[in-house]
Amino acid sequence: MTSALSGDTGESTLERIGTEELAGTPVGGPAADHPYRFLLRYGTETAARSLAEAGKAAGAAWWSLARRPWSAPARTGLWWTTVLDRAEPRWHLPHRITLETDFAVLRDFTADEDRADPVVPTLVLPPQAGHSSTVVDFAPGQSQLTALRESGLTRLYSLDWRPATPATKRVTITDYIEVIDRSIRRMGGRANLVGDCQGGWLATIYATLHPERVHTLTLAGAPIDFHAGDSVIAASTQALAGRFGLAPYRALVAANGGTMAGAAVLANFVMIQPQAEIGRQLRLLADVDNPAHVQRYRVFEDWFKHTQDIPGAFYLWLVENLFWRNRLVRGELEVDGRPARLDAISCPLFLLAGATDHITPPPQLFAIADHVSTPAESITKRVAAGGHLGLFTGRNALHRDWPALMAEVRALSTSGISGVA
């Protein structure tokens, strides 16, 4: 996972999906179908990239120290202190808490002067993947919530996933669906739903079970066909679960007292692209006396390295049913005996993928368009420059892609907005 703090480059694309593009989209992809072959190739390429990045960044760091050798000890000490000095990520926009449970908090970002605005309320579901939900309000000037609010979606809410504890280790998918439903009821009964990454498939499952409560559905970097595209996560899951079932995952949860350790999730992310971690730390050494660079580093590291545990029951459910069995896109998923079928979704659909997203390759997201009942003319897809995290924190995505999509959502949200009882 790479930082988007330096900004993404390139142009994004926006298009309506025609029916001819959607017909016959296959389920799955090469990584899941041939996991060992894919992982061998990926490992070889990643090792080469890591060595190249290490050499490049180390050269820059050495040259920076060599130009002023008398300051090398002090700069090295400052670098080490900065690497170790972490702060807890926080929310930046003013808000109030309107609902609390043991595992989730509903935060209301609606300004007092906007509470009577005639617009459908919007609920954002952040990722639930071992990191803080503050990624949707990453930093001043780099806030997805700000982008949504400035697009006219002024009645704005976000769920905040709390770290798992021994008391919440048995929280299930049913509990997550229920807290989303309670939130939307509290907001008036119907909402624009925005799901980021793991929050995206959660929003989608909710929409299949409660389609009458979802006015529009926006998904960003969200896996729907978990086996599509060149995905190292899909390949590693198929290789591990295909041979050992859930035993390795159950062992991880048991070793952490019934929760999935956020630190283990972070380690997995780092191992997927170790060159990003190597380069980031060595670039800090080269620019440790540059206050702007150090500040960007701190903001990213404070969020990225601050992990939180995931309820074990929920984690094992999603590994088995989504990452391994791929039951959502196959039409086989059930939640408490209720079918969660994508064809139950008929609302307008907005899809945002990252061109170089290695966590959720675009085909994993765009596959949803082939399975919903939403008319083709009401499905919009957009490809943003950059990678996964850049979809939620990158300046280009926040100032170009999100405003374009949310302007369309806003246009659909100001008429016929009576709530659902």
Q: Which domains does the chain have, with CATH numbers?
A: 13-30+88-232+309-411 (3.40.50.1820), 34-87+262-304 (no CATH)
CB 30 within 8 A of CB 364: no
Q: Please identify which residue in the block is written with the tokens 């295909």.
A: 242
Distance (Å, rounded) from C-alpha 289 to C-alpha 311? 41
Output the pTM of the full model: 0.88
Q: Please tell me the predicted confidence (pLDDT) of residue 304.
A: 92
Q: Please tell me the predicted confidence (pLDDT) of residue 51.
A: 72
Amino acid identity of 58? A
Closest C-alpha among 268, 363, 360, 257 to residue 307:
268
Q: Please tell me the predicted confidence (pLDDT) of residue 15.
A: 42
Q: Please tell me the predicted confidence (pLDDT) of residue 276.
A: 86
Closest C-alpha among 339, 323, 335 to residue 245:
323
Q: Please identify which residue in the block is written with the tokens 């906007």.
A: 114
Q: In sequence order, what DSSP letters do the residues of 135-193 get, joined into one string?
A: GGG-BTTB-HHHHHHHTT--SEEEEEEPPP-TTTTT--HHHHHHHHHHHHHHHTS-EEE
Task: State the CB neighbour count (10 A cutoff) for residue 21.
Answer: 15
Q: Please tell me the predicted confidence (pLDDT) of residue 263.
A: 94
Q: Please tell me the predicted confidence (pLDDT) of residue 92.
A: 96
CB 195 within 8 A of CB 352: no
Task: State the CB neighbour count (10 A cutoff) for residue 274.
Answer: 15
Closest C-alpha among 140, 421, 164 to residue 308:
164
Strands 259-260 and 191-196: unpaired
Q: Please tell me the predicted confidence (pLDDT) of residue 415.
A: 63
**Structure tokens of 310?**
């995931």
Closest C-alpha among 264, 230, 213 to residue 359:
230
For the chain, the first-to-last Cα distance in angstroms comes to 42
Q: Can you tell me whether residue 123 is helix, strand or coil?
A: strand
Provide the residue-wise pLDDT of the chain in tens; the chain has 421 residues: 323 333 333 334 444 333 233 334 456 566 667 776 877 776 787 777 767 766 766 666 655 656 676 666 787 888 899 999 999 999 999 999 999 999 999 999 999 999 999 999 999 999 998 999 999 999 999 999 999 999 999 999 999 999 999 999 999 999 999 999 999 999 999 999 999 999 999 999 999 999 999 999 999 999 999 999 888 888 899 999 989 999 999 999 999 999 999 999 999 888 888 888 888 988 898 888 899 999 999 999 999 999 999 999 999 999 999 999 999 999 999 999 999 999 999 999 999 999 999 999 999 999 999 999 999 999 999 999 999 999 999 999 999 999 999 999 999 999 655 543 2
